[in-house]
Amino acid sequence: MAAIRVENLVKKYKNGVQALDGLSLRVNDGEIFSLLGQNGAGKSTLINVLTTYLRPTSGSVTMFGKDIYRESAAIRAQISCVAQRTSIDIHLSLTENMMFQSKLYKVSKSEAKKRMETLIKVFGLERYLKYSVSSYSGGIKRRLDIALSMMSNPKVLFLDEPTVGMDIQSRIAMWNMMKKIRNDFGTTIFLTTHYLEEADQLSDTICIMKKGKEVIQGMPHALREYLRQDMMKISFATKEEAKSCFQQLKSVIALKEIDLRHDKIITNLKNNHSDLEKANRWLLDYKIPFLGIEIMQPTLEDVFIRLTGENGKEVY
Ligand SMILES: Nc1ncnc2c1ncn2[C@@H]1O[C@H](COP(=O)(O)OP(=O)(O)O)[C@@H](O)[C@H]1O
Ligand SMILES: [Mg+2]
């Protein structure tokens, strides 16, 4: 059974902004599901709808087969959400925070204690117990926040951009924590992110959304190939130079129309970088004026362009 099924979801805010525009997706039970999208794509709106804080304009959402609006009380007892703002009380200790959380969910004290000890152990939080919560770094606070949200033993955990602004060490610690939640507790994780790498490293299923609608979902294997393929970027001084080079370079290496982006040529590299050597040699042999040639990792925008064939942006 699907943990979550969203069909044709529309959310129009009072100010007229249509944050969700007929979005559909499916989250499998027990998986880490990543929703990838840029700022303003509608990720937080979707999380707010899925956690029953916002009512959609139209469309349906079921969780484990139940309509989340008709049975919202039952649904709320089974989910937990860590929003972009932290919910820890810095005047309480780590353990006081955890016990307080369990009260909100009406977990018995002895049960809560047991659970707290398990969580502290599983997430390696022992070493922070002796310090006051106000002294924790942002990354530790976030991990505590997630540990808190696990006190109610949720079936689904929602995380809105859990690693935004974190350094790589904290991010890796967070990824390990999420994997533990899935593996040790069987909790389904629904997370949003705008980091390609995060979705790639962590998730069983990826859904990419843009402007309130899914662009592609599932197919983690095929998607991974897109996400991991190196790109070659050739920069020029002007748009005209890029265009003229593009026309000629087409006969040397395979290029698509969407690879010409303003004053740059950006294309994915196949065949072990031999295209890079070919292009480089050709540029030098024919004394083509260019600013630089480099290998780069694809960005979310690159993936969008390749998936949708759209190249509407002029700023690269
Ligand atoms: N409460 C609100 N009222 C009106 N518009 C909103 C509200 N919240 C978000 N929006 C708008 O909805 C769109 C999607 O926002 P959001 O869901 O926050 O996207 P994301 O989380 O992907 O950055 C944006 O254009 C945003 O400005
Ligand atoms: Mg957001």
pLDDT value at 312 more than 60: no
Closest by alpha carbon to 35, among 143, 160, 147, 150? 160
Among 9, 10, 13, 15, residue to substitute to test ligand 1 (most atoms within 8 Å of Cβ): 13
Do the beta carbons of residue 23 and residue 217 sit within 8 Å? no
Ligand number nearest to the C-alpha of 210 = 1
Cβ of 53 below 6 Å from ligand 1: no
When divided into structural domains, the chain yields a total of 2
Kindly give the number of the ligand 1 atom that is closest to the alpha carbon of 38: 22
Residues 113 and 150 in one domain: yes
- Expressed in angstroms and rounded, the spacing between residue 18 Cα and the centre of ligand 1 is 9
Q: Which residues have CB atoms below 5 A from the ion given as ligand 2?
A: 43-44
Which tens digits make up the pLDDT trace of 102-115? 888 888 999 999 99
Kindly give the number of the ligand 1 atom that is closest to the alpha carbon of 45: 17
Residues 204 and 236 in one domain: no
Closest by alpha carbon to 118, among 140, 150, 90? 150
Cβ of 37 below 6 Å from ligand 1: yes
Q: Please indicate, yes or no, if residue 313 is contained in any of the structural domains.
A: no
Do the beta carbons of residue 303 and residue 208 sit within 8 Å? yes
Q: Please indicate, yes or no, if residue 314 is contained in any of the structural domains.
A: no
Residues 132 and 271 in one domain: no
Model's pTM, two decimal places? 0.83
Predicted local distance difference test score (pLDDT) of residue 230 = 87
- Expressed in angstroms and rounded, the spacing between residue 85 Cα and the centre of ligand 2 is 11
Which tens digits make up the pLDDT trace of 196-245? 888 888 999 999 999 999 988 875 666 777 777 888 999 999 999 999 99
- Expressed in angstroms and rounded, the spacing between residue 19 Cα and the centre of ligand 2 is 11
Cβ of 15 below 6 Å from ligand 1: yes
pLDDT value at 315 more than 60: no
Predicted local distance difference test score (pLDDT) of residue 220 = 63
Predicted local distance difference test score (pLDDT) of residue 65 = 95
Give the alpha-carbon dihedral of 252, 257, 260, 262, to 10 degrees. 150
- Expressed in angstroms and rounded, the spacing between residue 54 Cα and the centre of ligand 2 is 14
Q: Percentage of the chain with pLDDT > 70?
A: 95
Residues 199 and 180 in one domain: yes
Residues 32 and 126 in one domain: yes
Kindly give the number of the ligand 1 atom that is closest to the alpha carbon of 194: 22
Cβ of 131 below 6 Å from ligand 1: no
Query: From edge to edge, which strands make up the β-sheet containing 213-218?
Result: 79-82, 156-160, 188-193, 32-36, 205-210, 213-218
Q: Please indicate, yes or no, if residue 290 is contained in any of the structural domains.
A: yes
Residues 221 and 243 in one domain: no
Domain of 234 in residue numbering reads as: 229-308
Give the alpha-carbon dihedral of 157, 216, 53, 99, to 10 degrees. 10
Residues 25 and 130 in one domain: yes
Predicted local distance difference test score (pLDDT) of residue 233 = 94
Residues 213 and 263 in one domain: no
Cβ of 17 below 6 Å from ligand 1: yes
Q: Please indicate, yes or no, if residue 260 is contained in any of the structural domains.
A: yes
Cβ of 44 below 6 Å from ligand 1: yes
Predicted local distance difference test score (pLDDT) of residue 217 = 82
What CA–CA distance (Å, rounded) separates 10 from 170? 35
Residues 122 and 145 in one domain: yes
In degrees and rounded to multiples of 5, residue 160 shows phi and psi of -95, 110
Kindly give the number of the ligand 1 atom that is closest to the alpha carbon of 41: 22
Where are the strands (E) in 115-198, listed by range?
156-160, 188-193
Q: Which one of 226, 252, 282 terminates a domain?
A: 226
What CA–CA distance (Å, rounded) separates 193 from 218? 16
Q: How confident is the model at residue 305 (pLDDT cuts 50, 70, 90)?
A: confident
Amino acid, single-letter form, for residue 63: M
Residues 104 and 247 in one domain: no
Which tens digits make up the pLDDT trace of 7-36? 999 999 999 999 999 999 999 999 999 999
Q: Which one of 203, 226, 249 terminates a domain?
A: 226
Ligand number nearest to the C-alpha of 164 = 2
Q: Please indicate, yes or no, if residue 35 is contained in any of the structural domains.
A: yes
Predicted local distance difference test score (pLDDT) of residue 307 = 72
Residues 98 and 53 in one domain: yes
The DSSP element (H or E) to which 12 belongs, if any, is strand 2-12
Question: Ligand 1, atom 14: nearest CA belongs to which residue?
Answer: 42
Residues belonging to the chain: 316
Dihedral sign from CA coordinates of 77, 80, 85, 89: positive
Residues 107 and 126 in one domain: yes
Give the alpha-carbon dihedral of 123, 125, 127, 129, to 10 degrees. -160
Neighbours of 278 (CB within 10 A): 14
- Expressed in angstroms and rounded, the spacing between residue 43 Cα and the centre of ligand 1 is 8
Closest by alpha carbon to 44, among 85, 87, 88, 83? 83
Ligand number nearest to the C-alpha of 85 = 2
The helix-helix angle for 109-122 and 94-104 (nearest 10°) equals 130
The domain that holds 250 is classified in CATH as: 3.30.70
Which tens digits make up the pLDDT trace of 60-107? 999 999 999 999 999 999 999 998 777 788 899 999 999 998 888 888
Which tens digits make up the pLDDT trace of 137-176? 888 889 999 999 999 999 999 999 999 888 888 899 999 9
